[in-house]
């Protein structure tokens, strides 16, 4: 009898695990599609004749601060009411900025890049490590992403990249192509991989091996000449 109940429990646990994985995959695709749409909308605005050349604004800063003083209480109430009706994507983006798009042709990856590498940023997308170079700038631009199926797994196949493969990053109207130069594994304590460099490089970081995630897989690329 006990074995029977144990078998039922294991079956239900397996079904629940699969259901959670499917739901997370659906959520990741939903949020990522919306983030890419938001970024594409930003690019369309930059390309528009109506966009002034001297105006530069972030893609999205949902948690914007009202600059004008003396805002009437009725306006504040209206703003609060509007905030309550924000979409799930708007709430997810709160205080975050979409800084670009990463494409890895060999892995069929195209994902939005958010500023920051906290759990909220990495749950559905790729994060840019604060304080490191921006894509295309001289120095070390560091991007982090997950590999497991419970989160955005855009770096799941990162181990398949070889020297010569392309990593493409689009930021505003600029496109930067990096060529993979090396890949290696380090421990979580090896923070030197975040150090700045004299060259223009990109460093992709994810956990390895899959399941235990005790180390960090590093893939580096140099800007194409």
Question: Whole-angstrom Cα distance, residue 58 to residue 60?
Answer: 5
Task: Express each pLDDT in 162-184 by its tens digit.
Answer: 999 999 999 988 999 999 999 99
Catalytic residue, from 42, 128, 146, 153: name it: 146
Report which of residues 19 and 7 the model is more confident about: 7
Task: Tell me the C-alpha to C-alpha distance, in Å, between residue 185 and each of 168, 190, 196, 214, 215.
Answer: 22, 10, 19, 10, 7
The mean pLDDT of 103-126, rounded to a whole number, is 89
Place of tokens 């695990």: 17
Structural domains for the chain: 2-49+57-64+89-223 (2.40.260.10)
Confidence of residue 97 (pLDDT cuts 50, 70, 90): confident
Look at residues 119, 204, 95 and name the one whose alpha carbon lies nearest to residue 157.
204
Question: Whole-angstrom Cα distance, residue 114 to residue 90?
Answer: 13
Asked if 42 is an active-site residue, the reply is no
Task: Express each pLDDT in 183-219 by its tens digit.
Answer: 999 999 999 999 999 999 999 999 999 888 899 999 9
Catalytic residue, from 42, 128, 153, 207: name it: 207
Question: Residue 107: pLDDT above 90?
Answer: yes
Assessment of whether the complete model's pTM goes beyond 0.85: no
Side-chain-side CA neighbours of residue 222 (13 Å): 8
């Amino acid at each position: 009898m006990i074995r029977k109940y144990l078998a039922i429990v294991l079956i239900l646990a397996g079904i629940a695990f699969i259901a959670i994985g499917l739901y997370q995959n659906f959520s990741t695709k939903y949020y990522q599609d919306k983030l890419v749409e938001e970024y594409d909308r930003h690019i369309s605005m930059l390309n528009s004749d109506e966009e002034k050349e001297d105006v530069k604004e972030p893609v999205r800063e949902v948690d914007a601060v009202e600059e004008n003083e003396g805002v009437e209480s009725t306006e504040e109430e209206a703003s609060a009411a509007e905030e309550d009706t924000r979409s799930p994507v708007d709430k997810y983006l709160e205080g975050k900025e979409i800084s670009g798009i990463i494409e890895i042709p060999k892995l069929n990856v195209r994902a939005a890049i958010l500023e920051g590498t906290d759990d909220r940023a990495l749950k559905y997308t790729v994060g840019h490590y604060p304080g490191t170079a921006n894509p295309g700038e001289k120095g070390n631009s560091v991007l982090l992403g997950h590999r497991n199926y419970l989160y955005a797994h855009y770096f799941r196949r990162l181990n398949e990249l070889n020297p010569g493969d392309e990593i493409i990053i689009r930021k505003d109207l600029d496109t930067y192509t990096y060529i993979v130069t090396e890949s290696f594994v380090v421990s979580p304590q090896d923070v030197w991989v975040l150090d700045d460099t004299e060259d223009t490089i990109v460093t992709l970081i994810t956990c390895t091996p899959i399941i235990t995630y005790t180390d960090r897989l590093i893939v580096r690329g140099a800007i194409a000449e």
